[in-house]
Amino acid sequence: MSDNANKPPLEGEVISDNTTSEQPSGEQSPHADTTIAMVIYALYLASFVVGFTSLIGVIIAYVYRGKGPEWMDEHYRYQIRTFWMGLLYASVATLLTLVLIGFPLLLALAIWFIVRCVKGFKGLQEKRAPSNVDSWLI
C-alpha cells in the first residue's frame, strides 16, 4: 500500500473504490450460481413432456435477469429469446400443418429447441455466456 492510502482526497480528486480489484476478472463471482439457469433449461426440456414448464422457465428467467454477472444475464436473455422465438416458430408451424408442411417444421422446431438448451447447458458448465445470443437460429 502506498503512503497516500490514508490521506484525505484533495479537492477535485477522483476517488476510486477498487473493492473488487483483489478478485481477478476471470474468476467466478460469488453471485454466479448456475443452478437457476440450469433449472430453466431443464424446465424447457421438460416442456416436451409437460407442456407448461417452459412458461414457468421464462418467468424465472425474467425474475433473475439483471441479478448476476454479465455472462449469467446473457444466459437469461438467451433463455427468454429461446422461449419467445420458439413460441413464434411453433405458431407458424402449427398454422402450416393445414397444408402439411407444418409437420416437418414442428420436428425441426423440436430439434432447434433441444440444441439451444444443450448449447446453454454447455455454456453454463464452462462458466461463459452462450455464443450468438441474438441469433434466430442456433
At 34, phi and psi to the nearest 5?
A: -90, 0
* Per-residue pLDDT tens over the stretch 99-136: 999 999 999 999 999 999 999 999 999 999 998 888 88
Look over the chain and give the mean of its residue pLDDT values, rounded to a whole number: 83
Distance of alpha carbon 78 from alpha carbon 92, whole angstroms = 21
Mean pLDDT of 50-63: 95
* pTM as predicted: 0.75
pLDDT score of 6 more than 90: no
User: pLDDT: is 28 or 105 the higher one?
Assistant: 105
| Residue-level pLDDT at 131 | 87
